[in-house]
A and B are shown apart, each in its own frame.
Chain A
Amino acid sequence: GENVEQHPSTLSVQEGDSAVIKCTYSDSASNYFPWYKQELGKGPQLIIDIRSNVGEKKDQRIAVTLNKTAKHFSLHITETQPEDSAVYFCAALRGNTNAGKSTFGDGTTLTVKP
């Protein structure tokens, strides 16, 4: 089955700096890669996703890049703010099956210091 590894497990940045979180996956058939943000006491919230026919996607301060050949994808957050502090999860799944069967990484705890 699919295996997703996520690095780093913790990341501390100064407000205004950029943060990068990286994930690798094992199943070359995976073609949908969502990123989730989980705040304390809440469920994961989808923040951005990318499909395998796209190399990069951007939404304001958040961007995701995908390298299908190397089987890795990354989340980039620019101009970080204290409210970006949370646990971030990457996930991967094989398309045209079921959106619910995602395999998640173990998460990155991002701390943005004011």
Chain B
Amino acid sequence: ETGVTQSPTHLIKTRGQQVTLRCSSQSGHNTVSWYQQALGQGPQFIFQYYREEENGRGNFPPRFSGLQFPNYSSELNVNALELDDSALYLCASSLRAGTNYGYTFGSGTRLTVV
């Protein structure tokens, strides 16, 4: 059973650019959530995808968007990057939405905006 894999592991972008982060969910998991973790803080919920539809969103602006594909893998897109977007972006997959299952995190993508 494979875990959650994220790519790339590290990324440096310039302010104003756009970035796409990728996540492959754990085998059998159909729900993917994205989190932003700033240095020294806990993860902050960005949004969740379930069966290719957005299924809840945290307090993030529309320039944060996502996709989920038929194989349940997912992308996080961030437009018009700002310096404050520098963070560790975590993807977590769970067995299915609507239930109290714990979820499996990937190791994250470290994004640095300069």
List chain A positions with a Cβ less than 8 A from chain B. Answer: 4, 6, 31-32, 34, 36, 41-46, 49, 51, 89, 91, 93, 95-107
List chain B positions with a Cβ less than 8 A from chain A. Answer: 4, 31-33, 40-45, 48, 50, 55-56, 58, 90, 92, 94, 97-108
Q: Which residues of A contact B31 (CB under 8 A)?
A: 98-100
**By the criterion CB–CB under 8 Å, are A44 and B98 in contact?**
no
Known contacts A43-B105, A43-B108, A46-B104; decide if A89 and B56 are in contact (CB<8 Å).
Answer: no
Q: Which residues of B contact A106 (CB under 8 A)?
A: 40-42
A104 vs B43: C-alpha distance when bound (angstroms): 6
**By the criterion CB–CB under 8 Å, are A98 and B107 in contact?**
no
Among A31, A32, A89, A98, the residue within 8 A (CB) of B48 is A98
Q: Which residues of A contact B92 (CB under 8 A)?
A: 43, 100
Known contacts A42-B107, A43-B106, A49-B102; decide if A100 and B94 are in contact (CB<8 Å).
Answer: yes
A49 vs B101: C-alpha distance when bound (angstroms): 10
**By the criterion CB–CB under 8 Å, are B41 and A107 in contact?**
yes
In this complex, what residue of B is CB-closest to A107? B42
- Name the distance in Å between B89's Cβ and chain A's nearest Cβ: 10
**By the criterion CB–CB under 8 Å, are A101 and B48 in contact?**
yes
Q: Which 5 A-B pairs have the closest CB atoms?
A: A100-B33, A104-B42, A43-B105, A100-B48, A46-B102
A3 vs B110: C-alpha distance when bound (angstroms): 25
- Name the distance in Å between B112's Cβ and chain A's nearest Cβ: 15
User: Given A44-B90, A98-B97, list of 7 further CB < 8 A pairs?
Assistant: A42-B108, A43-B106, A89-B43, A98-B55, A100-B32, A101-B56, A102-B43
A102 vs B105: C-alpha distance when bound (angstroms): 13
A106 vs B42: C-alpha distance when bound (angstroms): 4
**By the criterion CB–CB under 8 Å, are B100 and A32 in contact?**
yes
Q: Which residues of B contact A96 (CB under 8 A)?
A: 98-100
Q: Which residues of A contact B44 (CB under 8 A)?
A: 104
Among A6, A41, A44, the residue within 8 A (CB) of B105 is A44
A33 vs B98: C-alpha distance when bound (angstroms): 15
Among A89, A96, A102: residue with most chain B CB under 10 A: A102
- Name the distance in Å between A71's Cβ and chain B's nearest Cβ: 18
